[in-house]
Structure 1
Amino acid sequence: MTKSEQGRHRERQDPHWIEWLTGLVSALLVAAMLSWLTWEAFTRESIPPDLVVTVLTTEKTSSGHRVAFDIYNTATITAAAVTVVGRLREGDRVIEEGDVTFDYVAAESKSTGAILFQNDPAGRIVDIHPAGYTDP
């Protein structure tokens, strides 16, 4: 805030009440965030990766058939180098197999991917499951 005296500007010495309010609200937000992070650090249980795959769609492409899926990590620890294997079966016989590797699947999140098959999955069993991961 400035006052004008003979064409000159001069800063006010006393801060405006809005500056005090802004500073107080900011300090409270920072304190609340630090408290929450500290609470999470000491009370959150470390649960190893728990990976679940859900098939979304099957589409015909120019090079075959794409089976899209979501992979969920419901645990509190991230999984790295996650390998997902997909098998196309008729009864007990495996017709085709493919896999895809995710760099990571973060804790309590999902990632989306697809496995490409040459054979049409219609009328066949599509089995897609996580095969392994490493600790990051």
Structure 2
Amino acid sequence: MNKGPTKGNMQENFRSKNEETTRKPGTSVTEWIVAGVSCLALLAVLGYLILDGLSGRNGAADIIVLPTKVTAMNDGYVVEFAANNRAGNSVAAVEIKGELRDGEEVVEESSVTIDYIPQMSDRKGALIFRSDPKTYELRVSASGYSEP
């Protein structure tokens, strides 16, 4: 009389099914490829950060201001300029000062503050004068900044 599978047969069936579904011990090829790509990405990021830190770009700001266009308005003249931060430091509250000069005499002054100039980038702005900048010597420069 056989009522069904015995306890011994059930254990054998379970072991054989379990052995078929378990994977082989060790690391698969896909896991090695993912690990290699991840390692290369990590080394690239670390290399970039080390080179950036050792490059010595972090010094005083080097802001060059060049006038680009003069436009006449109803009651004055607008002098547009480009401020270029050539250094590795970002700067904030950059004071741009413009002067109209007749020889050594300053005829008129104007100034503007640029909120922020990131490292190695340009920002544009404008100064407003009442006198015509074309009839005088125009000097435009950065006169101060703060660290952000």
TM-score of Structure 1 vs Structure 2, range by shorter chain: 0.7 to 0.9
Equivalent residues in 2 for 1:5-16 (5 A)? none
The separation in 1 between residues aligned to 2:80 and 2:42, in whole angstroms, is 42
Deviation at 1:47, TM superposition (A): 1.5
Count the aligned residue pairs: 120
Matches within 5 A, 1:97-116: 97-116=109-128
Larger strand proportion of the pair: 1
Structure with greater Cα Rg = 2
Aligned counterpart for 1:78 among listed residues 90, 94, 117: 90
In the TM superposition, what are the counterparts of 1:15-34 in structure 2 within 5 Å? 28-29=40-41, 31-34=43-46
Residue 122 of structure 1 deviates from its aligned partner by 1.6
The yes-or-no answer on 1:44 pairing with 2:59 is no
Residue 126 of structure 1 is matched in structure 2 by 138
Shift of 1:93: 2.0
TM-score, normalization by structure 1: 0.73
User: 1:32 corresponds to which letter in structure 2?
Assistant: A
TM-score of the two chains, using structure 2 as the length reference = 0.67
Q: Which amino acid aligns with 1:116?
A: I
Q: For residues 63-113 of structure 1, give each alpha carbon's deviation from its aligned partner in whole angstroms, at most 9, with x where no partner exists.
A: 310111111111111111110110112222222111000112111111111
CA RMSD of aligned residues (A): 2.5
Unaligned runs of 5+ in 2: 1-31
CA deviation map 1:39-67 (0-9, x unaligned): 313x1212210111111111112331011
Amino acid at match of 2:121: S
% identical equivalent positions: 32
Structure-2 separation of matches of 1:64 and 1:112: 19
Partner amino acid for 2:131?
A: N
Q: 1:91 to 1:26 in 2, by over 3 A?
A: same
